[in-house]
């Protein structure tokens, strides 16, 4: 190998080592009070759940996507690149809202039938109806678009494979049982 090839190889190795840290997702620890915080950017801005979250064991169990033969299981995932650090409440039917932060998900075990999911942000409300039978597993994304002039949230039903992948990269913040 000549000097040029050696230099090029060195640059390639240093670059690959440098970007490999970006590819590894580090786990954000649960706070001492049981809440979970999403931390963003160099200024370390954070958004924390106002409630304690389930254990890591529950998180791992939920990520097996096991159907409950007596319930409709719905995964609500919030994981988008330009989501911001807003606390966004999610309500199912008449249940108490669960406040979500970016890169999190909620597992709902619901009675078979039709349910309405609602999210409100700065006076805007978005609603999505979901219907299913016992033993079904469904996915729904709450997609945020945050820009310097404002934020907008919308329900994105459909692409289960993409939503499942995003769920695997997210943290369980609530396990809701409404049977």
Q: Under a CB-based contact definition with an 8 Å cutoff, are residues 168 and 65 in contact?
A: no
Q: Which residues pair with 119 in a beta bridge?
A: 90, 126
Q: Is the pTM of this model over 0.85?
A: no
Banded model confidence at residue 22, pLDDT cuts 50, 70, 90 = very low
**pLDDT at position 2, please?**
66
Q: Is the predicted pLDDT of residue 35 greater than 80, yes or no?
A: yes
């Amino acid at each position: 190998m000549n000097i040029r090839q050696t230099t090029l190889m060195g640059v390639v190795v240093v670059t690959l080592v440098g970007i490999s840290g970006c590819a590894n997702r580090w786990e954000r620890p649960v706070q001492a009070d049981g809440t979970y915080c999403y931390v963003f950017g160099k200024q370390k801005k954070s958004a924390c759940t106002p409630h304690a979250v389930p254990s890591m064991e529950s998180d791992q169990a939920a990520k097996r996507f096991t159907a409950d033969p007596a319930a409709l299981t719905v995964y609500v995932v919030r994981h988008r690149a330009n989501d911001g650090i807003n606390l966004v409440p999610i309500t199912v039917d008449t249940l108490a809202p669960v406040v979500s932060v970016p890169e999190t998900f909620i597992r709902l075990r619901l009675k078979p039938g039709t349910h309405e999911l609602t999210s409100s942000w700065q006076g805007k409300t978005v609603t999505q109806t979901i219907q299913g039978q016992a033993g079904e597993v469904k996915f729904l994304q709450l997609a945020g678009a945050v820009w310097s002039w404002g934020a907008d949230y919308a329900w994105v039903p459909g692409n289960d494979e993409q939503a499942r992948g995003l769920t695997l990269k997210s943290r369980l913040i609530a396990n809701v049982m409404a049977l």
